[in-house]
A and B are shown apart, each in its own frame.
Chain A
């Protein structure tokens, strides 16, 4: 702040304070706009009543209703009188083996059975609560992990596996190319770099129809890379990530002084040794950041995964979450919210903890133009 401004403020303090107050007010409103959906999804995830319209941010816990087992036994069957949806129907029947005898246990008539935490094969002791209805803020997470029709943990595993393999391979392959572009001077180098930039203008999501048809044909002969497979999806992701990352990495390699390679060469190192023992360790911190961002990008990718993965078992997390929105959204709202929070956490943590690097990258891009 210059002296002039300070004196100005001293002369007429009220307009400045007012202006500042308005500015802060706008920012506060902006923060509310930014965070309202986030707060609300947290509230929905913790709300056992599945309501989409809870009036309070911290939802009230409904009265707990429990069926107490009279004797110890093993659950044989969990069924609902009106068919398939066991999770949430009044009068749910549990077929259990109690002291060698088959017994039917039933929810109390006035009881509203919301979530069954029990699975076939579970054993229980006398006095155990068989239903733990709505008694916990974490009931939605419990249901999320224990619904066989929607194998959330499987999707989470698929996503983590696909994103890990993809980001690792992308970094390794593009680092090789970037080193070559950065360190060698060869005929056609500039044209090749330009070509890569040009091709990158068309993200491979645009050609999803062609990619779908191609994987269909490949899958006829090499099932591992066909439709519905993580192998095919990873191949598509890696191919699509080449261009932009080669350019990005080339920048990092360019920033490593060439003297380092030259001294290594004088010592008798070949190109491979120079790359692997000297340059690669030097740029590794940057490569890790690139890898993490690539992980997040792959983890969150939805369109190609949805087009290429048709079986529920092979879905990634985003495709699975989309399943919650498309069917029974209103009914499964709380469960979706729980799943969405888990799905968003990796990205949120990474983005917020790397925000300075990301801001730096974006700003650099904008200033460079």
Chain B
């Protein structure tokens, strides 16, 4: 408090300096931010990545407005959080929708503009162009240069980024051993270096020279020219027009031949239509969907039941060392899920796992925990029970403690049995308190990627999925992951995003139902 009082006395004199300093800091900060943002907007616009250019532009604009307008002072405090959420949470959701409506994936990884930028850099050696003989030179930095001799025995020296006629020596004379700091390579050296130098483009941007053969070098010409009037790329080497085909995201000529690189293009609801029409997707997707729901439900029911059982047991005050029991019982909750699943995976391993061996030692064939779809699912549910019951044990303990004890006393006066008390009193009271958490747990498990991935990467694989990656224990989110990053047939970001949209819709639906059910909006509003 003393410092505060002193501050307030000093405040008047400091006022102008301090507010000026603060203003300067604000402007400086904004200037740095704006400079970075402008740069990003510029380069993304050049790439044709409009969605990012616009998003970054909008967020920056918002931050500027908030920090410059005095009446928005309270928002200044929130603007960093808003910017981060906008870029890292809101934009990815919108972007997912966009990607789901495109053919984004292997073979179509770049925007049309990026593809055109790449194509514009490609060159070729036109037939009938000027041809030179060449000798290879190299400087101390390792850069190569070409000594060129044309048909009239005129000499030129073409370094990387330079092209000069040489009138130093007479026609037909021996080439100099050194020229402008470059040393002439002898035949053997030139042969070894030839492969490396072959891909290089010598000369200036206007006049590019490349090695065409063992003895010839020639002038490169730009190979592809984009013609906006017909929205096509003209291939100078083949003298053919390649039209942009937005259905496939390829540049195509009349014969159906395409250029090597495809581009991202909007394909409408094609990815969603594939859910129904493609047999390699529709069958597995339906089964994955059902298993996702089943897995989430079974996980919630099992973890809640076991958690509640333990919570009820822990209520008995006569049990010794209750605190120690609780601590030991929540240990699974305190171990990173990935590590827990890995440990269980090792224990269930059919050849070496301690559980499988224990079963085998009883004279029973150990179940194929990773090969059989049914047993795989059982294994996952068992592990998820181990992972999840402590949460409900803790939650139920708290909720049970909150049930007023006089209600039990009243029930005892009425002569209610233990079961009647539990059934008619404890459970309903408990469900009111824990209900929303059950739903939250359902949505959590709905997207419980870690356990599925760490257990068996979604396996065993589904046969009917063909070349697409789908497994019997895959849930929607892991299926989407596999389509996007699973390797195999190549990434299909469009389809993966379309599946993510299903998850979005389902999660939104469940959450809405939860709020309806618990009147969560009103209650949250009260807390606001």
A-to-B contact residues, CB < 8 Å: 1-2, 20, 23-24, 26-27, 30-31, 33-35, 37-38, 40-41, 44, 51-54, 173-174, 176-177, 179-181, 184, 186, 189-190, 192-194, 196-197, 199-214, 217-218, 220-222, 235-236, 238-240, 242-243, 246, 251, 264, 267-269, 273, 277-278, 299-300, 302-303, 307, 318, 321-322, 324-326, 329-330, 333, 336-337, 340, 343-344, 347-348, 350-352, 355, 358-359, 362-369
Contact = CB atoms under 8 A, between A and B. Distances in A.
A208 B485 CA distance: 10
A26 B342 contact: no
Contacts of A52: 346, 349, 352-354
A333 B328 contact: no
Contacts of B313: 23, 26-27
Given A176-B80, A199-B90, A330-B352, A218 B338 contact: no
Interface of B: 3-5, 7-8, 11, 39-40, 43-44, 47, 49, 52, 72-78, 80-81, 84-85, 87-93, 95-96, 99, 104, 309-310, 313-314, 316-320, 325-340, 342-347, 349, 351-354, 357, 386, 390-391, 394-399, 401-402, 409, 432-437, 447, 449-450, 453-454, 457, 477, 480-481, 484-485, 493, 496-497, 500, 503-504, 507-508, 511, 518, 521, 523-525, 527-528
Nearest to A172: B80
B497 A209 contact: yes
Q: Helix, strand, loop or mixed for chain B's interface?
A: helix
Contact of A199 (B3, B85, B339, B525): B85
A329 B346 contact: yes
A300 B338 contact: yes
Contact of B95 (A1, A27, A207): A207
A214 B95 contact: yes
Nearest to B337: A300
Nearest to B430: A366
Contacts of A186: 72, 74-75
A364 B316 CA distance: 22
Nearest to B491: A209
Residue with the greatest number of chain A CB neighbours at <10 A, chosen from B52, B327, B331, B508: B331
Contacts of B450: 302-303
Contacts of A54: 354
B58 to A, nearest CB: 15
A207 B44 contact: no
Q: Which 7 interchain pairs have the tightest Cβ spacing?
A: A239-B88, A363-B398, A351-B334, A180-B77, A207-B92, A268-B8, A184-B74
A58 to B, nearest CB: 15
B339 A207 contact: no
Contacts of B507: 201-202, 206
Given A202-B89, A211-B92, A369 B327 contact: no
A153 B73 CA distance: 46
